[in-house]
Structure 1
Amino acid sequence: MKRKTLAFILTCSLGAGVLAGCTEETATAPIKTTEQKVKKGNLEVGLGSDGRISLPLVNLDFEINGTVKEIKAQVGQQVKKGDVLAVLDDADSKLAVTQAENALNKANAIYNEAVNKYEIDKLEFKYKVDDIKAKLDARPDDSTLKAAYEVENKKYQTLLNSNGSIQSAGLEIEDAKNKLQEAKNNLNKIYLKAPINGELTSINYKVGEVVSGVKSGTDTNSATSGTAFMTIVDPSVIYVKASVTESDISGIEKDQQMRLSVDSLSLENLQGEVVSVNNTPNIDSSGIVTYEVTGKLSELNPAIKEGMTAFVTFLKKEKKDVLLIPNKAIFVEDGKQYVNVKTEEGETKKRAVTAGLTNGVQTEVADGLKQGETIIIGGVKK
């Protein structure tokens, strides 16, 4: 088509004196234009990178060993905090409670026996001391009685100040109580409960299988969802992970503001902030070096799913409430910037403008335009 148009123009130019019917309108193809109002908005300038949504996973494991008796939930189910999701067989745990109760009863019996013996010994020693003392009072010069009194009284005082058997039996009781409480706690641990509201995304065991307990306090989130008993997606926060090149990473830091777009959901300008910058480089097969940056969205959106692609802009500058026009509306002549403006009469006029900050898509107009005016994008400059 371009070749035909060019040939026609040349024919008209060369034969103008003969072909009076050739005109400019038939020689020039119409140029498409678009109109756009000048609006106020916020201009954001930053570093852009492709990213991927990452919803935090909470891995759930039993704290004790046991055989799976019942699974009360299924993958994809929405669960609430406190819901019982799975149960272990309780036979061993109940037996442990019974054994611990018996051990406590035995410890109490030993303690009572030690106390009774102590009281009896104390009465017997006191009786001996009092008997010798009475005889000594009657015969104060009897050296044999005096020596006997000193020996028996010393034994009595030693007994009063020493109750080791009772103390030892008391310690056995405390130990038995602790073991009983532990057994009861373990009995409660046969229930696996949801720690948060969320969606159950994986179940890696079946009824009848044996599980190995994870000790309380262990960071089960560090394990993969493939090894945990169950995995729940935490809906309370939405993360995005982006790979930033080595040339751009110096411009990104923790707590820096960012903006997110999710094209699949037609979501734009979602606000967030950087929560971490990984200093460990990722080097691909072609030698390109990138660093993982994790951001967190400021507001939740249930439509955003794990693994969705996103485009992230890490803000470096931001100007609020300024006049904005598309970059492609601006053209340059003799070193000056111009735009085509549509007048009230419907005509197109070229007007000089002073452009300010740009982000590569939109440009701030510092002078030359007013809010609400219509600019023409494309077409002939006039």
Structure 2
Amino acid sequence: MNKQQKIIIISIVALTALLAWVVLKPVQPSDTATTTTPHEAASEHAHDHSYDHSYDHAQAGDTHDDEDVVTLSDAQAASAGIVLDMVKPAHIFTMLTLPGEIRFNQDRTAHIVPRVDGIVEAVTVDLGQQVKKGQVLAVLASTGVSELRSDALAAQKRLSMAKTIYAREKELWEDKISAEQDYLQAQQDLQEAEIAAQNTTQKLHALGAGTSAKGGLNRYELRAPFDGMIVERHLSLGESVQANANVMTLADLSSVWAEIVVSAKDLGTVKVGSSVTVKASAFESQSSGVVSYVGSLLGEQTRTATARVTLPNPDLAWRPGLFVNVEIVAGEANVPMAVTTEALQTVEDREVVFVQTAEGFRAMPVKTGRSDGKMVEIVEGLQAGAAYVTKGSFTLKSELGKSAAEHTH
């Protein structure tokens, strides 16, 4: 064996030993722990994702519950005017609401006409002025009144003369000085004079003019027939007016009519004597009354009838021409659970009632049923006997809105 062959054999042995050492080297524990198959990695990732999602969902639910609760101290609740009541049974009246309009009470409305031709010498009232019964509204100069007063004065003179002649003839007849025929003639003349005087006086009274010539024989005064307000005036100073002209309209607004439009299907509900509640459309005002008239005929075009309610109007709040809603009881029922109407609030398009809980005042979504304007039936969402906020619920709604806005930001 030569030298070159020895070198080759030594190199092969060394290389074989090196390979054996690499192959037989022990695996480190840390390397084994970090080794994960693709299937195991996917399973672990799915598990972690499922856990995070359910946690986030739970957190979101807890946050929503917190947003529906308003926490107030006893002092804050008292300051906000919070009043509690219990969810309990109620007797609810079903209401029928009909449109209406306030009109003058025609039984207490007068169209003032002069009843004589004349010239306007004075107008003593303005449009919208309140007047008293017997108050002078206007003064006219009338030749017709002047002639009637002249006739009345002449009749009174003739009557006075007839009384004197009758007294003298009666005395002469009783003393057997004059004939009975003269006495009887004087008696007849007296009776005719009395009739003539009464006739002229009655004519003046029929016109609303007195027999007194104070201020001139032709002075004619238009006076108010009752207490009321001047709602129309159609005459001015110096104007010539006719006997049948409507120169003023006087209305007693201490009572008014609420006229209702009633469809054919509601005529069975709206009856004379039915109690109603009249509510203004333009402002917060209401009054109670009774149906005093229901029309028996339906309009040919509208197929509706007219009903009427007489309303007291001491404060003149009900003005003619005002649109109103008239509520009439259409039915009644007992319901197992009800709350007051002012307890209902709308939060995020949900009807809610604030209920007192250990955490605070919680907005509970509810489903409502029948209502009579004061009480509302609760179909779902509350339990009988629960303490709910009947007054001050709007304050809680405002606080709830503030909390939601802060959470959003």
Tell me the TM-score normalized by structure 1.
Answer: 0.62
Q: Secondary structure at the match of 1:264?
A: coil
1:258 Cα deviation from its structure 2 partner = 0.3
Please report the RMSD computed on the Cα atoms of aligned residues, expressed in angstroms. 4.9
Q: 1:195 aligns with which of 216, 221, 225?
A: 225
Give 1:233's aligned residue: 251
1:81 is matched with 133
Query: Which of 310, 317, 342 is equivalent to 1:296?
Result: 310
In structure 2, how many angstroms separate the alpha carbons of the residues matched to 1:162 and 1:252? 74
Displacement of 1:291? 0.9
Matched-pair contact (CA < 8 Å) for 1:81–1:193: yes
Query: Paired residues, what number?
Result: 308
**1:64 counterpart residue number:** 116
User: Structure 2, unaligned stretches of length 5 or more?
Assistant: 1-44, 71-81, 211-218, 345-351, 398-409
2:17 equivalent in structure 1: none
Structure 2 letter corresponding to 1:178: Q
What's the CA shift for 1:71?
Answer: 1.2
What is the deviation of 1:175? 2.0
Q: Say whether the 8 Å CA contact 1:80–1:194 is kept in structure 2.
A: yes
Work out whether 1:48 is the aligned partner of 2:97. yes
Give 2:376's match in structure 1, choosing from 358, 363, 367.
Answer: 363
CA-CA distance at 1:72 after TM superposition: 1.1
> What is the CA–CA distance in structure 2 between the aligned matches of 1:262 and 1:202, rounded to whole Å?
24
- Three-state SS of the structure 2 residue aligned to 1:190 is strand
Q: Which residue of 2 aligns with 1:266?
A: 284
User: Are 1:275 and 2:275 matched, yes or no?
Assistant: no
Of 191, 197, 202, which aligns to 1:171? 191
Deviation at 1:192, TM superposition (A): 1.4
The secondary structure found in structure 2 opposite 1:255 is: coil
- CA change 1:204–1:55 in 2 (3 A) is same
1:311 counterpart residue number: 325
Q: Secondary structure at the match of 2:314?
A: coil
Greater shift, 299-308 or 244-253, is seen at 299-308
CA distance in 1, matches of 2:280, 2:46: 57
Amino acid at match of 2:376: T
CA distance in 2, matches of 1:370, 1:26: 31
CA distance in 2, matches of 1:64, 1:47: 50
Q: Does the 8 A contact of 1:273 with 1:298 survive in 2?
A: no
1:16 and 1:278 mapped to 2: Cα distance? 78
| 1:352/1:368 contact within 8 Å kept | no
Q: Is the 8 A contact 1:281 1:290 kept in 2?
A: yes
Distance in 1 between residues matched to 2:169 and 2:128, nearest whole Å: 65
Measure how far apart 1:327 and its partner are: 12
2:30 is matched with which residue?
none
Partner-residue secondary structure (3-state), 2:191: helix
The one-letter amino acid of 1:231's match is T
What do the CA deviations read for 1:310-335 (whole angstroms, capped 9, x no partner)?
11111245689x95345997xxxxxx
Structure with the bigger RCO (C-alpha within 8 Å, sep 6+) is: 1
- Are residue 100 (structure 1) and residue 155 (structure 2) matched? no
- The one-letter amino acid paired with 2:187 is Q
**Separation in 2, partners of 1:304, 1:246:** 27
Distance 1:233 1:43, change over 3 A: farther
Counterpart position of 2:73: none
Offset at residue 295 of structure 1 (A)? 0.8
Query: In structure 1, what is the Cα distance between the partners aligned to 2:114 and 2:365?
Result: 72
- Residue in structure 1 matching 2:260, options 214, 226, 242: 242
Query: In structure 2, how many angstroms separate the alpha carbons of the residues matched to 1:265 and 1:349?
Result: 30
* Most deviating of 61-70 and 33-42: 33-42
Hey, what's the Cα distance between the residues in 2 that align with 1:197 and 1:122?
A: 56
Larger fraction in helix? 2
Alignment-derived partner of residue 373 in structure 1: 388
Shift of 1:19: 6.4
Q: Tell me how far 1:253 sits from its aligned partner.
A: 1.1
- Which residue is 1:324 aligned to? 339
Same amino acid, percent of matched pairs: 19
Q: CA deviation at 1:271?
A: 1.2
| Superposition deviation, residue 232 in structure 1 | 2.1
Could you tell me how far apart the structure 2 residues matched to 1:93 and 1:209 are? 17
Aligned counterparts of 1:80 and 1:318: Cα–Cα separation in 2: 46
Match of 1:223 in 2: none
Match of 2:357 among 329, 343, 367: 343
Change (3 A) 1:365 1:54: same
Displacement, 1:121? 8.3
Deviation (angstroms), 1:100: 2.9
Larger Rg: 2
**1:67 Cα deviation from its structure 2 partner:** 2.7
Letter in structure 2 aligned against 1:283: E
Residues 293, 34 of structure 1: alpha-carbon distance in 2 compared, 3 angstrom cutoff:
farther
Q: 1:340 to 1:117 in 2, by over 3 A?
A: closer
Say if 1:38 and 1:325, in contact at 8 Å, map to a contact too: no
Amino acid in the other structure paired with 1:295: V
The verdict on how the C-alpha distance between 1:33 and 1:111 changes in structure 2, with shifts beyond 3 A counting, is same
